[in-house]
Chains A and B, each alone.
Chain A
């Protein structure tokens, strides 16, 4: 290692501090906007680092990365839409907190947790990299499969009240993950003959739709405020710090889980935060409050996902195997700078990597002031802006955000359709989160299992390859069993004095029944389609199809008998005409913008949505302000996309 003082001084030079601050700020904003990702921001900025000193360039890229993972929490907390997949689990408790008026507290908690997680990850990166990198190699296909299954057990947690419906949703998510060209087998599956579906359902587009469209429909369905209006008050920093300090075990555990999962190439922030959420819930004495605005849940997910930043750099730098997609872009930038990542890097005595690590640490600390200030304004803005403005703004974000992922109009359509499916499913009591879990974990589960199966077949030892000879898998399977059995044991112990009676409704649950019937039909179609596939590509669809069919039959029976007619994720709102207007507007928007042009379509759609979100007759002055704001907002983001991020817009008749 080169001279430590020199490294410290270089990392803390005014230039590098400024780049770190700029990077964190830019990253936070980009992460907060659903669809815009750290990968994209870093990819755009890499050429600028070519003219910089290598260490400075890397510090800026690292700062953007860590800022973006943190920024994802804002949208999750304030609009129930994960800004990045890493923030999926942040919606579970963050949005309920914001809904009841504690959005400022939630944002501050997320900031503290992100800083702690980021620091733990960065410190482990600086101190234990070469040792921890071996973990990346110890995790093979079998372990990834079990890890995905562990993530899926969260469905049981997320669908309290109706586990069967949750599991059906999970199966639907798994089905969605299989659409497109199969990695193993190479078959084209479930595309319905549409070439545009070959690439499958983009996870980010589906996330935006599933979480955000129902929020938008609910917003226009009633006249009340989106969030409880907040009185002007401080950051609630000391209150948040107190909560975080009392929960230090959870913070530390989640940060370590985050770092370890970050080390696994291909796992990433979404899985890290889901698993640490499940662990936090299991360990918490207030586990019943999880999902209803429990600060511990928020602390767990946000510390875990920022810890993956440091964790992800470990295999990138030590093995030359990128831990996450942004790591891969940064690895490319390193190679262009002439720095070869891999085994030789740590012995070469090149100080650049250490300067970068210190820079990452500094950037993480800078998140505290940046995040508190940005978060405060974001919260006050979302809480106080009238719905007539908020609805078009968020709707516009979902459209441009889902387009920005791959500059592909198809993703926008997927986003809207998934959103409408999610909204309808929620009416039947089928929540969005199990679907998302299935979609996010499906490919990891399928590829992990199929590879282990093929290798087990070649070695003539299925059981050994899938579990028996794999000690790490034993540990994960033990966790799975613990997650599944512990709540049952707990319930049994509590229920013994007075046996709980299962609430049986007097009437059949018709929406649930209709939903189960649709899922049953879908499962029949899946099973029929799977007949034409090669064995390798058909195994997983067959399993999912059969499970979905069985569960749907069970649910039809349960719904008919009126079990568990209430579900926590089902909205209590009525589908009013406004909801329908919003749905139709979004659909037309997605269909027409490739033909008419993004700018024109967006301006028109935003005008329609302003009217939809307006309750009561607006005054003329108000109307003028609204029109002007819509114009400014649409133009500003359009220019950001075209000029700054260089996203090619579709060739329409008009701009």
Chain B
């Protein structure tokens, strides 16, 4: 026989279950969520999406399904973002400076304002890398070589008008030296260009140094403080070069997505970001976890947009 206290307990539990399932019926997500990555598999956007996957399942109980829609440096996907259903079941990765620079420099089929970003969840700091046998031991060596022979130092990077391209331009502006920038079609291709000796230096991120370990040497990082994973590598600022930047990655939704859903998604991504296991994994690979939730997005975007404006003008005039 059950005592009356136990009965009350059971009833209470049943009531809780009922209300929970009632809210669950309206809750997002009520099925697997499609997560569209505007690039090919294997790059930073893909890997971090993969890292989010198990934690998304843990947080929401639903699967996050990663799909690839590469083309035009991401513009193919972003220009189609608002065509998807705004029911929270389709979300898309977004990248800075791409979504700011592309519309500034040409007509990629969307405007920066067309993209509803709900969360910026991490950042990969720009880094200047050489292969382990390179004669360049420091940033100063690179500057000296480029001063002696303008244009002879060959710098690789991913894409034209991309984060790497911007980094190369800012570096030139700050130091006054001229390098030759060679665009590649993806992170993998840049790494084989560096390791195979086709380029002298590579504009990459801290993640490249984490992945390639001893095969490469990182000369400097574009962060305010030294990166915890690389305590021996100086920042550009320490070297007197005012360069802090990199690529920011976030998540956007179609513009028809209701406000509550945007907020809910933002909360979910924030929860994943707060998971210590997720943070550890990201930081071990050289990523810097950041938190820009939906509420702070407008201010963040305005700030970044202003920062890229002058570089965009320069890149434009080169074409």
Contact = CB atoms under 8 A, between A and B. Distances in A.
A194 to B, nearest CB: 9
B290 interface: no
A319 B195 contact: yes
A140 B68 CA distance: 26
Nearest to A447: B185
Contact of B160 (A138, A183, A329, A460): A183
Contact of B76 (A182, A199, A338): A199
B41 A186 contact: no
A265 B188 contact: yes
A43 B109 CA distance: 27
A180 B184 CA distance: 16
Given A184-B160, A184-B183, A454-B182, A333 B79 contact: no
A336 interface: yes
A8 interface: no
Interface string A332-367: 110110101111100000000000000000000000
A195 B110 CA distance: 9
A198 B40 contact: no
A221 interface: no
A28 interface: no
Contact of B185 (A183, A195, A319): A183
Contacts of B50: 46, 332-333, 335-336
B42 A331 contact: yes
A62 B136 CA distance: 40
Contacts of A343: 212-215
Interface in B45-95: 46-47, 50-51, 53-54, 57, 63-73, 75-76, 79-80, 83-85, 89-90
Given A185-B319, A332-B42, A50 B54 contact: yes
Contact of B193 (A140, A198, A331): A140
Interface string A8-50: 0000000000000000000000000000000110011011001
A188 interface: yes
B191 A319 contact: yes
B150 to A, nearest CB: 10
A299 interface: no
B285 interface: yes
A47 B58 CA distance: 12
B212 A195 contact: no
A141 interface: yes
A228 interface: no
A23 B196 CA distance: 35
B105 interface: yes
A200 B68 contact: no
Interface in A96-143: 136-141
A340 B215 CA distance: 14
A459 B196 contact: no
Given A198-B71, A198-B108, A321 B54 contact: no
A184 B195 CA distance: 21
Contact of A455 (B32, B63, B106, B180): B180
Given A186-B105, A186-B106, A407-B67, A648 B90 contact: yes
Given A198-B79, A335-B47, A343-B214, A186 B107 contact: no
Interface stretch (B151-159, B221-229, B230-238, B239-247): B151-159
Given A183-B160, A447-B185, A320 B211 contact: yes
B160 A47 contact: no
Contacts of B42: 322, 325, 327-329, 331-332
A181 B75 contact: yes
Interface residues of A, number: 68
Given A185-B319, A196-B109, A321-B188, A180 B72 contact: yes
Nearest to A340: B211
B46 A139 contact: no
Contacts of B174: none
Nearest to A198: B72
A486 B46 CA distance: 46
Contacts of B161: 186
A458 B213 contact: no
A266 interface: yes
A342 B213 contact: yes
B189 A265 contact: yes
Given A329-B41, A408-B69, A459 B107 contact: no
A196 B51 CA distance: 31
Given A265-B189, A335-B50, A340-B211, A646 B40 contact: no
Contacts of B192: 136-137, 139-140, 265, 315, 319, 321
A342 B160 contact: no
Contacts of B89: 648
A443 B53 CA distance: 33
Contacts of A578: none
B30 to A, nearest CB: 14
A651 interface: yes
A43 B76 contact: no
Contacts of B71: 180, 198-200, 202, 406
Given A195-B109, A455-B154, A646 B159 contact: no
Interface string B166-202: 0000000000000010111100110111011111000
B147 interface: no
B34 interface: yes
Contacts of A457: 180
A47 B54 contact: yes
B131 to A, nearest CB: 10
A451 B182 CA distance: 7
A43 B41 contact: yes
For B40, B72, B151, B189, the residue with the greatest tally of chain A CB atoms inside 10 Å of its CB is B72
A344 B193 contact: no
B319 A187 contact: yes
Nearest to B318: A534
By CB atoms of chain A within 10 A, which of B71, B106, B159, B285 has the most? Answer: B71
A332 B319 contact: no
B90 A140 contact: no
A195 to B, nearest CB: 3
Nearest to B65: A646
Contacts of B54: 47, 50, 336
A365 B83 CA distance: 45
27 contacts: A39-B68, A47-B54, A47-B64, A137-B192, A137-B195, A137-B196, A140-B192, A140-B197, A141-B193, A181-B75, A186-B106, A188-B106, A195-B79, A196-B109, A320-B191, A321-B188, A326-B41, A336-B53, A338-B281, A342-B212, A342-B215, A447-B185, A451-B182, A455-B198, A459-B154, A648-B84, A650-B83
Given A43-B67, A331-B41, A342-B213, 18 more contacts: A43-B41, A50-B57, A137-B192, A183-B160, A195-B107, A198-B72, A198-B109, A265-B189, A319-B192, A328-B188, A332-B50, A336-B54, A344-B213, A408-B69, A451-B198, A455-B180, A458-B154, A650-B83
Rank and list the top 5 A-B pairs by shortest CB-CB distance, nearest first. A199-B71, A328-B42, A195-B109, A199-B76, A186-B160
